[in-house]
Amino acid sequence: MLDAIRPECRPLFVFIRETGCLREEALSLQHWQVQEDSELVVFSENTKSKKRRYVGLSEEAIEAVNSLPRLDSCPYVFYSLRFLTRWAVCRKPLENAAKQAGVPDLQVKDLIRHYAISLAEGDAGMHDIQQALGHSSVGITKSTTRSSRPGIQHGRF
């Protein structure tokens, strides 16, 4: 499904899938938050809980971060190539790709769910997944790792 997203938008959605971050966390991500040497990203602004959290970076997440050239005039990791500033909204590329891939109901939260399920399948504990997602309770995390949406299956993107 991600292959159907416009190439200039794809890194944003790969990053969301690989880190479980919220769309706004990814859109507002600045280069200083990415600690490539330690393979971590610091989410400190625009989080639901208003709390700082550290999330490990996969190779794919690092590739997504490095896929767009770094601009002196723009502190954001993911930005519009047309306007050279951060996207205010980036919904249409995902909606169009989801329709093209035959899963028109796919949403960003399904990419986040994919991340949570991947952690669970990799034997991460619920408390670790809770912390990575920035949830206030394990109950919320457990509900995230359940596939509650018909037609949306883990691993389809």
CATH number at residue 130: 1.10.443.10
More confident residue, 91 or 31: 31
The C-alpha atoms of residue 139 and residue 149 are separated, in whole angstroms, by 18
pLDDT tens per residue, range 100-111: 999 999 888 899
The C-alpha atoms of residue 107 and residue 15 are separated, in whole angstroms, by 15
- Indicate whether 43 belongs to any domain: yes
- Indicate whether 76 belongs to any domain: yes
- Indicate whether 151 belongs to any domain: no
Domain that holds residue 63: 2-145
pLDDT tens per residue, range 6-37: 899 999 999 999 999 989 999 999 999 999 99
User: What pLDDT score was predicted for residue 149?
Assistant: 52
More confident residue, 40 or 124: 40
Structure tokens at 68: 């767009």
Question: Identity (one letter) of the amino acid at 101?
Answer: A
pTM for the model: 0.84
- Indicate whether 156 belongs to any domain: no
Count how many domains the chain has: 1
Distance of CA 122 to the CA centre of its chain: 18
- Indicate whether 74 belongs to any domain: yes
